[in-house]
Structure 1
Amino acid sequence: MKKTSTSFYDILGISSATVCLVHCLVFPLLTILPLGLSHNPFIDLFFAVIGSIAVFKIIKKSNLLVATILIISMVLIWVSVLSEIILDIHLDLIFIGGTGMILGHLLNYRSHKISNH
């Protein structure tokens, strides 16, 4: 049961962080096209909430390295998202945080996969 729930949260975290990172990298390119699109920081907030849920579930059962990577990455994402919502300042910390989230979840998934075989 624990293996399945941890794997689920790792896959959720990897998927959410990847989609968020793609969104953050591709969306600025789409705004230069005359499609009438504008950036909505609440989409980033949505990804941050999903990522936080996955991180809180995983850090209880992960090793210190994975927990540290995930917590620091989540803090970077939250600082970036909140600065954009509150101060209307776009920080590139979200890219570093998103990459760290993917790395942390992959490391956690790999360590659980190796320890369960």
Structure 2
Amino acid sequence: MRKQITKSFDYLGISSATLCLVHCLVFPLISIIPIGISHNHWIDLLFASIGLYAVVKIVKTNTPRYIKAILLVSMFLILSSIVITIVTHHHSFILYLGGIGMIIGHLLNFRKHKH
């Protein structure tokens, strides 16, 4: 039963991180088109809060430390990037690193539970 709950958090984390990464990669292309869309950091905060929820739940389990470290460092990078965006109005590259790290961490954790 516990394994199934952790898998659910992995699904949530993987999907949230993937959607966030797609949003961050596609948005610059959409902003080139003059239709009046501007970047909103609240969307980034929404994805980060979903990811943070999944990470906190996984960190509380008996997941290996290296997976916890990957997830926590990735979440720190994402949250740092959002703070930088709010303060400087500049989209930071570290958001992409954090998103990729979140996907990798959740995939590693998911694969660990398959065995």
Common fold by TM > 0.5: yes
Q: 1:60 Cα shift?
A: 2.0
- Paired position in structure 1 for 2:6: 6
Q: 1:57 Cα shift?
A: 0.4
Q: 1:47 Cα shift?
A: 0.5
Could you give the per-residue CA deviations for residues 44-100 of structure 1, whole angstroms, max 9, x where no partner exists? 011010000000001122101100100000000000001111332321100000000
Q: Does the residue aligned with 2:32 lie in a helix, a strand or coil?
A: coil
* Alignment: residue pair count: 114
What is the rounded CA distance, in whole Å, between the counterparts of 1:108 and 1:93 in structure 2? 22
Amino acid in the other structure paired with 1:58? I
Aligned residue runs from structure 1 range 10-89, under 5 A? 10-61=10-61, 62-89=63-90
Identical positions, percent? 54
Q: Does the residue aligned with 1:99 lie in a helix, a strand or coil?
A: helix
User: Aligned pair in 2 of structure 1 residues 34, 89: CA closer, same or farther (>3 Å)?
Assistant: closer
Amino acid in the other structure paired with 1:60? K
What is the rounded CA distance, in whole Å, between the counterparts of 1:87 and 1:98 in structure 2? 20
Which runs of no fewer than 5 residues in structure 1 stay unpaired?
A: none
Could you give the per-residue CA deviations for residues 6-29 of structure 1, whole angstroms, max 9, x where no partner exists? 010000000000000000000010
Cα RMSD between the aligned structures? 0.9
Q: TM-score under structure 2 normalisation? A: 0.95
What is the rounded CA distance, in whole Å, between the counterparts of 1:86 and 1:57 in structure 2? 29
- Paired position in structure 2 for 1:96: 97
Q: TM-score under structure 1 normalisation? A: 0.94
Which runs of no fewer than 5 residues in structure 2 stay unpaired?
A: none
Which 4+ runs in 1 deviate beyond 6 A?
none
